[in-house]
Amino acid sequence: MDIPHYIQEITEKLEKAGFQAYIVGGCVRDLLMGRKPGDWDITTEARPEEILKVFPNGKYENKFGTVLVPTGQKTDNRKQTTEKEIVEVTTYRSEQSYSDRRHPDQIKFEDSLEKDLERRDFTINAMAMEIADCRLPIADLNRKSEIVNRKYELVDLFGGRKDLEKKIIRAVGEPEDRFKEDALRMMRAVRLSCQLNFTIEPKTERAIKKMAGSIKFISQERIRDELIKILDSSKAYEGIMFLHENKLLQYILPELERGVGVDQNRHHIYTVFNHSVLSLKYCPNKDWRVKFAALLHDIAKPQAKRFIKDDATFYNHDIIGAKIVKKIMQRMKFSNEDTEKVTNLIRHHMFYYNVGEVSEASVRRLIKKVGEENLADLIDLRVADRLGSGVPKAKPYKLRHLEYMMKKVRKDPISAKMLKINGNDLMKLLKITPGPKIGAILDVLLSEVIEDPKLNDKKYLEKRSKELNKMELDEVQKKAKEKIEEKKMEDDKELRGEFWVK
């Protein structure tokens, strides 16, 4: 087993000081599965003050008996930074009564490993392993332990090893008791089943369905973190469907649940909800944010639904949907960057494109609105939308042609900073001071250059700037606005009809 030397050193130091110490929880589970643990946790009979004597550079700033022990250096190659690896060393403890369904009202330090393990959430996370070379005798524990890999001794009091082999998520003891202690454990069960491709044991599943309403006691941030992990897994569709079928989703994403049973129109064979989850299922992109956009892209359809000539339409559901999703993500305290990414994709998922009908200038304007960095993700969202509609062909010719056009025009100017003239140039050329007129002139120039990139010539831009400067500020601003609105109408001429689906 690939156990870092610094983890073994910590347990050995504790045992040399006369205390039993074990690695515990998720890292033991991952080792037994042949996976590389993301985190390492150590539990010990030593009290926090005794741990600090063994590790004087440790920090103890909580009431949970967890001492943070710095070890060797850890390098993050992506950020090109080096920092201390921190390991959590925690005293055996038990927890009593959870009046808020989130935090224990009382923490009690224990002398028994068994007491510590029985408070844990699932059997596969309630195993401990003795790894120190100078090991002390393991307490009796009815001898529910075994030698693993000829070297390490596994303590398994609740059948975690068997549940690993059977690929089962099972609560330790009575599942209702575990979920009363911390309602987030219900989402954690779903997340683990998605990440590990395990099934949730029937008794544990029944308890989730029965106690689903208690998830409302959990902070939005903690729910968000589990939701991201579900979306980030290879079983995101199954995870969302489990949340729906077991009554959790109505508390987490009630806006999505409003699409249940809502029929669409002649272009769609599925209800709004079924189409949404199938779009998630068939999303070809691995980025959880694109998957989230696929799941929520039609979230406004229930409220945007109208009937014209005996068929349903959903005018502006993309615009309304982006606003709804922004509120959802703000409520769950997603980062501004992630919120902008998801809402941007949803706002523009109805882009219209048909070979021979849409010009290169329209494609440039689409790139300007969406951002070049989001183009591939927008195409993947369209693919998810199509497949989630029951359309057999993910990428028809016109969508492949759009990708070709995007590559063709992506180096053309689409922003003011790509013009061969800037604000400083205008101030010198026109002998004017900084002000809104400079921005208005640049807006007009950009709109013209987007239409015809050949106009991005410094001599032409200087000549055109002098012409615009002769106009009053409000005239220039009006001209810029007119050009933007005119082209927006041209780009959107058939977008509201949703004709692209078939």
The residues, any chain, with a CB within 8 Å of residue 42's CB and separated by 6 or more, are 7, 10, 11, 14, 21, 22, 23, 24, 87, 88, 89, 90
Q: How far apart are CA 432 and CA 82, in angstroms?
A: 50
CA dihedral 302, 308, 311, 314 (to 10 degrees): -30
Helix (H) or strand (E) holding 54: helix 48-54
Cβ 117 vs Cβ 94: under 8 Å:
no
pTM for the model: 0.83
According to the model, what pLDDT value does residue 155 have? 94
- Confidence band for 87, pLDDT divided at 50, 70 and 90: very high
According to the model, what pLDDT value does residue 283 have? 95
Decide if pLDDT at 496 tops 50.
no
Residue 404, both tokens: 């070709």
Decide if pLDDT at 82 tops 60.
no
Residue 279, both tokens: 């779009």
The helix/strand/coil state of 129 is: strand
Residues 47-70 have a mean pLDDT of 91
Decide if pLDDT at 394 tops 60.
yes
Decide if pLDDT at 399 tops 90.
no
Decide if pLDDT at 177 tops 80.
yes
- Confidence band for 495, pLDDT divided at 50, 70 and 90: very low
Cβ atoms < 10 Å from Cβ of 358: 22
According to the model, what pLDDT value does residue 418 have? 87
Share the mean pLDDT of the chain: 86
Cβ atoms < 10 Å from Cβ of 270: 17
SS3 content of the chain, % helix, strand, coil (to 5): 55, 15, 35
According to the model, what pLDDT value does residue 476 have? 76
Q: Check the CA dihedral 473-475-477-480 and report its sign.
A: negative
Residue 100, both tokens: 């808020």
- Confidence band for 393, pLDDT divided at 50, 70 and 90: confident
Q: State pLDDT tens for residues 335-368.
A: 999 999 999 999 998 887 766 666 778 888 888 8
Max avg pLDDT among 227-241, 266-280, 309-323, 385-399: 227-241
Decide if pLDDT at 113 tops 70.
yes
Q: How far apart are CA 299 and CA 408, in angstroms?
A: 33
**Domains of the chain, first to last:** 5-163 (3.30.460.10), 169-252 (1.10.110.30), 282-412 (no CATH), 416-491 (no CATH)
According to the model, what pLDDT value does residue 436 have? 87
- Confidence band for 14, pLDDT divided at 50, 70 and 90: very high
According to the model, what pLDDT value does residue 38 have? 84
Max avg pLDDT among 90-99, 232-241, 378-387, 397-406: 232-241
Per cent of the chain over pLDDT 70 is: 87
Q: State pLDDT tens for residues 226-270.
A: 999 999 999 999 999 999 999 999 999 999 999 998 887 777 788
- Confidence band for 304, pLDDT divided at 50, 70 and 90: confident
According to the model, what pLDDT value does residue 437 have? 87
